[in-house]
Amino acid sequence: MSGTARYSPGVTQRNLPDERRPANDGPKAAARNRAALVAAAREIYAESGLSAPLSAIARRAGVGQGVLYRHFPDRAALALAVLEENVQQIEQAAAADGTDAARVLGVLTWHQTESTAFVGVLHADGADSRSGTPAYAQALSRRVERALRRHLPAGHRLGARPEDLMIAIAMVSGAVTGPTREQRERRALAAWRLLGVEVGPVRPFAT
Amino acid sequence: MSGTARYSPGVTQRNLPDERRPANDGPKAAARNRAALVAAAREIYAESGLSAPLSAIARRAGVGQGVLYRHFPDRAALALAVLEENVQQIEQAAAADGTDAARVLGVLTWHQTESTAFVGVLHADGADSRSGTPAYAQALSRRVERALRRHLPAGHRLGARPEDLMIAIAMVSGAVTGPTREQRERRALAAWRLLGVEVGPVRPFAT
Amino acid sequence: MSGTARYSPGVTQRNLPDERRPANDGPKAAARNRAALVAAAREIYAESGLSAPLSAIARRAGVGQGVLYRHFPDRAALALAVLEENVQQIEQAAAADGTDAARVLGVLTWHQTESTAFVGVLHADGADSRSGTPAYAQALSRRVERALRRHLPAGHRLGARPEDLMIAIAMVSGAVTGPTREQRERRALAAWRLLGVEVGPVRPFAT
Amino acid sequence: MSGTARYSPGVTQRNLPDERRPANDGPKAAARNRAALVAAAREIYAESGLSAPLSAIARRAGVGQGVLYRHFPDRAALALAVLEENVQQIEQAAAADGTDAARVLGVLTWHQTESTAFVGVLHADGADSRSGTPAYAQALSRRVERALRRHLPAGHRLGARPEDLMIAIAMVSGAVTGPTREQRERRALAAWRLLGVEVGPVRPFAT
DNA sequence: AATGAATGAGGATTCATTCAT
DNA sequence: GATGAATGAATCCTCATTCAT
């Protein structure tokens, strides 16, 4: 990645002379490419926002533009793939032994401070009948909700009304601004405190 | 010498050479045009978000592209002009006779639910030392804070720490999603409720 | 000049309230404005080349755009007005008491190193049947030639063929490159030396 | 976070959705397109000067705008590519069997009279520390100088001082004006004659 | 199955020129 | 006579998307 083949005057650009192509590793490469694209997207989104050029993501992933389209038919599909990984971590945190609401919220908060994608896409919940992300984003949203709700103790601040939980998450996302992750984490924690909600350590889920 | 003749429209350019020009209302129109642009921007932002094409705003305002650039040198300047109006209303609400925190928050909330511009620009507070909007957005942010803080009763939930007030506003902004204003208002009120903050009637300030 | 009224948000741009206009000095101002425009053009041309925006020239001159168009119907007219002044100085140098070819060439060279306009427009001699500058530029060219030729001693290097004189001037203009006037002067003198032509002190004509 | 969402084409953009695309000859066309662009640029520059619209060049080359930008990131890169070809011819002329200074100068002069690009870009030598073309133009300049100098006989008029050679070339370029190539050649030869330099046949290098 | 070139629409931005005041 | 706002065409440049190889 990085290369950014700039301007090389006088040297006719041409492909590798037909032999010695980067090697076609067959179907095994497909999964690897998909993963690389999601990882690259995560980075690029963090750096440049959700509307970063797709070509930048493909370049960072070290694949051609076509591969991106093969795996993700549109911009939203890629963003959702990033989100999917986040949601899976939250679900895993919720499924872990001896966990509790605070711990799950810590993982959630980690992803909020880490990835812009999380912030922007998930809260397109409700009747967002726009183009790309119809049902899937809602499904993700519900999965996050379910993962959290099963750990909410009776009488928890966010358990009173059904929508409160997701509104609270949206609120914290709104507070998460600032150029560095540290600053964003500080603000996220301040936000949870204002909501009177206790949050465990802010970090990704890892077994 | 020197020169590096960059882009030079040269001889080619020539507007409607003799035909009818669409009328030039003269300098008197300047103020009117500026206002029309801000109003159009407010509408377009609400419909399409902050990154809507500037040409759409000019069209909606009924002016040429050039007028937009004359009044607002860049995208941020226009967004800030919209915000400026919002902030002025909040300040007026804060200055009105017999007002209180709840009432001011009601006006603030109105603007949060009304205009996407409010959300997103104002909360670029803190160390956003990037290119465009450095000091002015912060100044607006501080004006909102000051307008509100003077009405916060001692011991108010949001008065404990200095940053809490602006974080709370950011949080509510984060919760304000949805396609209709009504839905956004409902969510905004739910958010304030979760913060334990009482909010007056959600409406623009009008004497 | 300079002002460049940048971005002043929230303050509706409006003219001085009808009274207190910059004062209409009547016809006397016309000549002054014209002179200011030519002077401004000379400066701007030197800084930014012949294709600099006309608005920049008007601004530097401290007049409105309209005034520029009143005095100079098109881009070429303004450039020629600048040139006209240069040519007049050369003619004056040629008419001065006790002058000689070297001295006149010194004045010519001064203008070559000083103003891009001189370099670019005058040598559009010959059958340049393009848009703007048909006859007038040629007339100027001939006036320069006449002013010089009357001082060429018999047998001067540049007197052999009729066209040699103007070609030599064009050649020196070609050599005049570089960011500072000093550098351009050095190169101009080197060029004259290569032509075997003696040049007097390089400076504007002043009685 | 962060974002300052600059220009984001967003959802709107969509090329010919299903219709027929004008054919994509695949990567094989890349080299051909690059060559076509350089050739088109050479023509357009000769006709309209260095500041001709890039779109005109793309059109003449029969390619889309994007291709031009892919191969040449900016205006200068394209001009330099044209120059590069000229300089290569001069180097080949200098490397040919039984050549001499006059013959090389003939090839040089051909390019001076043929292409406006040659004039103007190459002589941005010296301290042109501006943005775009810093080192490469100087490198080209030096290559021309080297190619010529190795054939200058001892005691040649242009060999006395190191800078004289390039100044002379700039001078001849300055003299090369006029609408037809023939006229420009006549003036170029007159210029070399004034410099006392013998020039061989004015034509491109061809084995 | 991957590559990366090409297309070309879309949006940004700049100025020449006119004209109400 | 002067001012400077408005117009809008022209040009620049960027990317989403397709597709030959």
DSSP state for residue D19 in the 8-state scheme: S
A179 has a chain D CB within 8 A of its CB: yes
Of the listed ranges C19-33, C83-97, D160-174, the least confidently predicted one is C19-33
CB within 8 Å of D40: residues ≥ 6 apart: D57, D58, D60, D61
Residue D60's closest CA among D85, D41, D84?
D41
* Residues in D touching B55 (Cβ below 8 Å): none
pLDDT band at B128 (very low <50, low <70, confident <90, very high): very low
Q: What are the tens digits of pLDDT across the range D158-186? A: 999 999 999 999 999 999 988 888 999 99
The answer to whether B194 contacts chain C (CB < 8 Å) is no
Identity of the residue in D8, D35, D81 whose CB atom sits nearest the CB atom of A9: D81
For the ranges A53-62, B80-89, B120-129, which has the lowest average pLDDT?
B120-129
The pLDDT assigned to A120 comes to 56
Test B2 with C49 for CB contact under 8 angstroms. Answer: yes
pLDDT in tens, A175-188: 998 888 899 999 99
Nearest CA to CA, how far is C200 from chain B (Å)?
22
Distances (CA, A) of B44 to A86, B82, D162: 33, 11, 64
Q: What angle do CA B78, B82, B85 make, to 5 degrees?
A: 140
- How buried is A141 (Cβ within 10 angstroms: 0-12 exposed, 13-18 middle, 19+ buried)? buried
pLDDT higher than 60, residue A121: no
User: Is the pLDDT score of A166 beyond 70?
Assistant: yes
D18 against B135, higher pLDDT: B135
Q: Which long-range contacts (CB under 8 A, 24 or more apart) does D136-139 make?
A: D136/A9, D136/D80, D137/D80, D137/D83
pTM, 2 dp: 0.84
Closest CA to C44 of C67, C61, C21: C61
D80 touches chain A (CB under 8 A): yes
C123 or A10: whose pLDDT is higher?
C123
Q: Which fold has domain D29-72?
A: Arc Repressor Mutant, subunit A (1.10.10)
Q: Is B53 on the interface with A (CB under 8 A)?
A: no
Strand E contact at CB of residue A33, distance < 7 A: yes
Instruction: Find the mean pLDDT for residues B112-136.
Output: 58
Identify the residue whose tokens are 């890349």: D30
Q: What is the mean pLDDT of chain A?
A: 82
Other CB atoms within 10 Å distance of the CB of residue D77: 19
Predicted pLDDT at D25: 61
Give the other-Cβ count within 10 Å of A89's Cβ.
Answer: 18
Integer distance in angstroms from CA B9 to C1' E14?
9
Q: What is the mean pLDDT of residues A16-35?
A: 65
Q: Which two tokens stand for residue A3?
A: 């290369």
User: Average per-residue pLDDT in chain B?
Assistant: 83
Q: Tens digit of pLDDT for each residue in B193-202?
A: 999 999 999 9
Chain C residues whose beta carbon lies within 8 Å of the beta carbon of residue D191: 167, 170-171
pLDDT in tens, D47-74: 888 889 999 999 999 999 999 999 999 9
Q: How confident is the model at residue B164 (pLDDT cuts 50, 70, 90)?
A: very high
Q: What percent of chain A has pLDDT over 70?
A: 77
Inter-chain residue contact B5 with C178, CB threshold 8 Å: no
Distance (Å) from the alpha carbon of A31 to chain B's nearest alpha carbon: 34
Domain ranges of chain B: 29-72, 76-194
Query: Is A167's Cβ below 8 Å from some Cβ in B?
Result: yes
Instruction: Flag whether pLDDT at C98 surpasses 50.
Output: yes
pLDDT surpasses 80 at C121: no
pLDDT of B10 over the 70 cut = no
A27-71: CATH topology: Arc Repressor Mutant, subunit A (1.10.10)
What is the number of other CB atoms lying within 10 angstroms of the CB of residue C148? 24
User: C58-66 contacts: CB < 8 A, separation 24 or more?
Assistant: C59/C1, C59/C3, C59/C4, C60/C1, C61/C1, C61/C33, C61/C36, C61/C37, C62/C1, C62/C36, C63/C33, C63/C36, C63/C37
Instruction: Tell me: pLDDT of B54 over 80.
Output: yes
Quote the pLDDT of residue C123.
55
Tokens 């001078």 label which residue?
D171
Residues 66-125 of B with CB within 7 A of strand F: 66-67, 69-71
**Cβ distance of B6 and D51 shorter than 8 Å:** yes
Q: Report whether pLDDT(A40) > 90.
A: yes
Give yes or no for residue C23 having a pLDDT over 70. Answer: no
Answer yes or no: is pLDDT of D78 > 80: yes
Distance CA C50, CA B8 (A): 10
Please give the pLDDT value at position D145. Answer: 94
What token pair was written down for B101?
């925190």
Distance of CA D127 to the CA centre of its chain: 20
Higher pLDDT among residues A116 and D163, named by residue: D163
Percentage of chain B beyond pLDDT 70 is 78
pLDDT digits (tens, 9 = 90+) for A52-61: 999 999 999 9
Which residues 96-125 of B are in CB contact (within 8 Å) with D? Answer: 124
pLDDT at C193: 97
C32, amino acid identity: R
Mutate to test the interface with B, among C12, C65, C177 (most CBs of B within 10 A): C12
* pLDDT score of D129 more than 90: no
